[in-house]
Amino acid sequence: MRKAAFGWAVLLVVVVVTSVTATAYYLEPSTADRVIVSTTTSLYDTGLLDAIEATFEAKNPIDLNFISVGTGIAIQHARRGDADLILVHSPRDELGFLKDGTGLNRKIIAYNFFAIVGPEDDPAKIRSMLPAEALTKIVETGRNGTETLWVSRGDNSGTHSKETSLWTAAGFDSATLTQEGWFASAGSGMGETLKKADYFGAYTLADMGTYMKYVKDDLISSVTLVGQAEDLLNVYSAVVVNQTLHPRVNFDGALSFVKFLVSDEGQQMIEQFGRATYGQSLFHPAVGLLKTNADPPLAQMIRDYAFFNSTECPPEYRRGYPELYD
């Protein structure tokens, strides 16, 4: 009798283990070459990467796995060896990532502009000002009032990093501003932050991709007040994780996706994305612009902002794939 009870218990354990293992096995993704891409939210949440993924995977035996996080977390993932490739937009952080040995073969893939968006009635009267002037006006108006006037991402994302440097350029310390009543640190993604700014009738710094999507879908009524200035340039890059440091990283798989992104076809897809829906591109391809110098002032602007020692990737941070830097 005692044996029978024990037998039942063992049987139960076996059944549970078998069914759980079978389920896990069934759910496990394809055995195709897996490339984990930690990406900034704007590239994924707008739908761009999903569109590119389908075309890329049809031609390559690689399974792209996108993890949509902020630039700060994407770099953290990569440092721990949890991503094979990062798509980010914060040149200063990217340089740090190359310098600490984790990042290799950086390649600029696209650009667009950030914009300062805010309520239609524009309480601080910043319309068409330069970014630094506009921010100064917002600080003055905010300090004289009681309402929330600026919503910051506050999440160490690429946009947040841009915002911090804009505050610095305007002569303010964003860490100090956080303490003031009119300055709200949202700690949320771009979409959520736009909604908060819209709700409070406040200003915020937005990437154009997410902003246009939210306006198109009628989720916010904020308008663009300051845009297209050199200080608001937004440059997206791909950086591959060093496989010497993290041996399990899929280095070649990651690079075949980078090569696709900078190929004519990939660049074309970036340019075309969103045109049908929004009447304009959300992201502009950067490779041809930098190579042919078609628009010298704009190309120079990108170099000034996102190049290190007059190259997108200094030679000491390159491994193989010389064709990327022809």
**Rounded to 5 degrees, what angle do the CA atoms 62, 65, 68 make?**
150
* Binding of residue 24 to other proteins (CB under 8 A): yes
Smallest separation, CB 200 to other proteins (Å): 18
Site for other proteins in 204-233 (CB under 8 A): 213-214, 217, 219
Q: What is the C-alpha separation between 111 and 130, in angstroms, rounded?
A: 20
* Binding of residue 182 to other proteins (CB under 8 A): no
* Binding of residue 45 to other proteins (CB under 8 A): yes
| Spatial CB neighbours of 115, under 8 Å, sequence gap ≥ 6 | 205, 206, 208, 211, 224, 225, 226, 227, 228, 232
Tell me the two tokens of residue 221. 């009524």
* Binding of residue 169 to other proteins (CB under 8 A): no
Smallest separation, CB 266 to other proteins (Å): 19
* Binding of residue 100 to other proteins (CB under 8 A): no
Smallest separation, CB 221 to other proteins (Å): 14
Continuous H helices in 149-222? 158-169, 174-177, 190-200, 208-216
* Binding of residue 60 to other proteins (CB under 8 A): no
* 8 A C-beta contact, residue 236 and residue 290: no
Which of 9, 10, 11, 169 lies at the binding interface for other proteins (CB under 8 A)? 9
* 8 A C-beta contact, residue 119 and residue 288: no
The backbone torsions φ and ψ at residue 53, rounded to the nearest 5 degrees and listed phi first, read -55, -45
Smallest separation, CB 74 to other proteins (Å): 12
Binding positions for other proteins, rule: CB under 8 A: 1-2, 5-6, 8-9, 13, 16-17, 19-20, 23-24, 26-29, 36, 41, 45-47, 50, 65-68, 80-82, 189, 191-192, 213-214, 217, 219, 246, 248
